[in-house]
Amino acid sequence: MLFSKKLSKPMSSQLSRMAPLLGVIGLVCGCQYLGREKEFEGKIVYRTALTGPNAEMLSLLLKPQQVSLTVYYKGDRLRFEESGQTILVDYQQDSLTLLAPETRQYFTVSLEEVRKDRRSSFRVERLPEEREILGHACAGYKVFGDKGDTIIYWEAKDLGITSAASQMYLLLPSGVVLKGVPLAFELPIPNTPIRLRREAEEIQPGEVEESIFEVPATYTRIEKKDL
């Protein structure tokens, strides 16, 4: 767990609502970088769906803001948005920051600290087939976890990702090294037979403003000693 039960109730409530995003996050501690020719900068919107027993019924309970994930890519900085919550990743500063807009609070932790907490054993196999997602040829990979769980992801062969981001990417298990921007995922939801699928439904290449990767000046920082 990243956060103590001593969190203030408002902040704790905000973090609990981030579970759909945080619950499937596995920070990556990578090895070798095999990047693409051109690094992608822009925005990708991923559509979320559930599969498995009673998945259709459970999907009806999802709020509109819970069925999509937006990720902004700009060099060694990423911004993840889901369910009205935001996670900022800065690889140059080795930091991960969680923003809680309703309470205007934020908490920052070093990626190294999170990396230690997320280590697991696994193996990765390349899938024999390829897919095309929004016009991009994608290579598929299957990750086998130490508890028998599996994750499948598809990365674009023509959308590059920076070395740091390739070696530490949210939404994948600790230890996976990307070769390109991922456009689709299929993940297990812990302690349930349900699987979560995310697939890009919109890709907007282009310059992204630096300001969206910064913590707003009006936000109050929650220190680790206060947790």
- The domain that holds 181 is classified in CATH as 2.50.20.10
CA trace torsion 20, 121, 35, 195 (10° rounding): -30
Domain around 64:
27-222
51 found inside a domain:
yes
In angstroms, the CA 142 to CA 209 distance is 34
For the stretch 97-119, pLDDT in tens is 999 888 899 999 998 887 776 55
Are the C-beta atoms of 159 and 37 separated by less than 8 Å? no
5 found inside a domain:
no
Collapsing DSSP to helix, strand or coil, 4 comes out as coil
**Considering the chain, what is the average pLDDT of its residues?**
80
User: Does the reported pTM lie above 0.85?
Assistant: no
110 found inside a domain:
yes
Distances from the Cα of 114 to the Cα of 174, 209, 219, angstroms: 10, 27, 22
192 found inside a domain:
yes
127 found inside a domain:
yes
CA 72 centroid distance within chain: 11
11 found inside a domain:
no
89 found inside a domain:
yes
For the stretch 177-211, pLDDT in tens is 899 999 999 988 888 888 889 999 999 999 999 99
132 found inside a domain:
yes
Q: How many domains does the chain have?
A: 1
